[in-house]
Each structure stands twice: as structure tokens, then as C-alpha cells.
Structure 1
Amino acid sequence: MNPLKTMLATFFVLVGSHAFAQTKGLDVPYVPTDQVVVDAMLDLAGIKAGDVHFDLGCGDGRIVISAAKRGAKATGIDLDPQRIKEAKDNAVKAGVAGKVTFIEGDLFDFDFSKADVLTLYLLSSVNLKLRPKILKELKPGTKVVSHAFGMGDWKPEKEVNVGGTTIYLWTVPER
């Protein structure tokens, strides 16, 4: 096998089919978050029973499901109808279907202003476009946790490395 084909085959095995099976028109490819990172994100946010949680770009729902298992009122938003179906199926399997909400929609048009905790696994470019909405609409004190991607010059108050990836935490400041 020639070196290029070997490299492409290795890449496909390492990344999996996720990068190649995306719905056209999405800003972010679907890449699932390892459960150890999900748990660390929710720990970093200090999520607890009664918190209102939104996961933007929720994918297969694993962060929302984990937040619900901790007693949060959890909602996931994703543009991809296939991911929303998968998330709902996963919630049923996890026994939390009645405790979560999954919405197919554009996170830029969605009202997540009631969040106590907001989680993201988006690209830096999307985070930067989303940042003005976060700072304008979320109440001061809301925790924002991002897997792997920052928010430009809005410096996180905490960074944690888990499983080879960085998780960032911000708290929405007083206006």
C-alpha cells in the first residue's frame, strides 16, 4: 500500500466515520465526547440538582443525559435531525427520557437565557460568534464550560486537562 493510502486509512480508523458522515450545512462536525470528559465538564461547572442546563450542539445527548442523572433540568439543541433522534433514543435507554428535552434547531436562534450551566463542544470560530449572545443574554453567575475550544480574548477562569483534552470554564460577569 502506498504511504498516502496508509495515512488515510490510519486517519479514518483513528477519527472514525464521524468526520465523513456529516450533514451538509452544519458549522461543527459531530465528534462524541468521551464520558470521562463529560463528567469533568459537569464537575467543573458544579452542576447540581435543580440547575437549568443547556448543551449547545448536543450531538448524541450524552452531556444532557449525564446532567439529568445529576438532577439538572437538561436540554440539548442540535441542528442535525439524525443527532436529535439518536439523543432521544439514548435518553430512553438511559432511563431519563422524561427528564430531558432535545430540540432540533439553530443555537443562534435559541433562547438559553435561563441557563445556570451552558456546555459547548463547538469550534473556536462558532464560540466567538456565540460569545456576544452568551454575555448579553445569560444572567451573571452562569457557568459556561467548553470542551477543547476557547473564546478568544475572554480568558477562562479555569482550564483542566482531562483525557488529553482541555476543558475551559467561564462565569458570566456582572454587567
Structure 2
Amino acid sequence: MDSTVLYIKNMVCKRCIKVVRDELEKLNLTIEEIELGKARVSTALSSDKINEVRRVLDDNDFELINDKKSQLIDGIKTLIIERIHYAKEQSGTNNYSQFLAKELGYDYSYLSNLFSSVEGITIEKYIINQKIEKVKELLVYDEMSSKEIAFELGYSSVQHLSSQFKKVTGLTPTQFKKLKNYKRKPLDEI
């Protein structure tokens, strides 16, 4: 029996996995494997069934990705989001070029050029934006010191984190913490 791999855009958190799993199961599909950005179902899907999956995903603000370049870009984003927001260990966080090339099986310069040409920003800028959102989350929780946050996210120092935070947000981390109505962005909109 043939399985089908579905590549899914905007699947950026564990709750997204649950929603996609629930929706695919409602369509009587047997899920062999599911992770951020991807689900493998146990049967080959007809074009009608694919359209049904596409409709259900669209209704839940996801998108079925068909072409290889879009799948690759989504893979880059998913790996970065997983590493910054969900990895238990952040060791080696700063070597994203080797990490992405190894995980995706492509030369980093190809990945970088493709990402920049389609997304309009560099992979490095995307990583910085994701890190800053994680910093915001950790500042709001107020469970870690600035030094611990800097270490957790692979910054060389608190000063480096503060400088990058201010460059992106216009505020220092301390000024951000004092805001009462802080705004965080959904990960798929960064």
C-alpha cells in the first residue's frame, strides 16, 4: 500500500499538529507520522481526496504545499522554528548553515539564495526575528534572567542580545518588560 506525504504550510506549533491530526482523521485518513510541516498518511490519495484535504487545511489556516521549492522554504522555516522555540537543548544554535544543509540535503548557499529570492529576507534575518520573538516570550514569563536568556538562545553576551533586540523592536529588553500591552506575533507571521 502506498503512503502519501502531505507538506503543510503554517504548521508551526504542537497545537497545529493536533489540529491537523484531528482534521485528517475526520477525513478517515490513517496517519503514519506527523510533525511540524508534514504528515504521512497510509494510502495514496485521489485528486478528489487531495482537494478535500486542501479545503479542510485552508479552513484551519493551513495550506497544502505542492511544489518542491515551496516545500524546501517551508522546511527551512520549520527547522528554524523547531530549533529556536521547541528544542530542549540549544547547543550549537549558532551554526544554522551546517544544520540546515545537513537536515535538508542541499548546499547552504542554494538554500540561502532560494529563501532570500522567495521570502525577501535572508535566512539569518529570519533566524534573528524568530529569536527575538522567543526572547519576548521568555521576558513575559519572567522566569529567566537576561543572562540565562542570552545563553539559552546562543547569544555571545547579554549586550549582544540587548543590541539585537533593540535593533529589531526599537526597545531594550527592560523597556519591553515594562510594557503592559506587549504584542507578540504568531510564529507563522514572522
Q: TM-score under structure 2 normalisation?
A: 0.25
Instruction: Flag the structure with higher strand content.
Output: 1
Higher helix share: 2
Structure showing greater Rg: 2
Name the TM-score, length of structure 1 as normaliser: 0.26
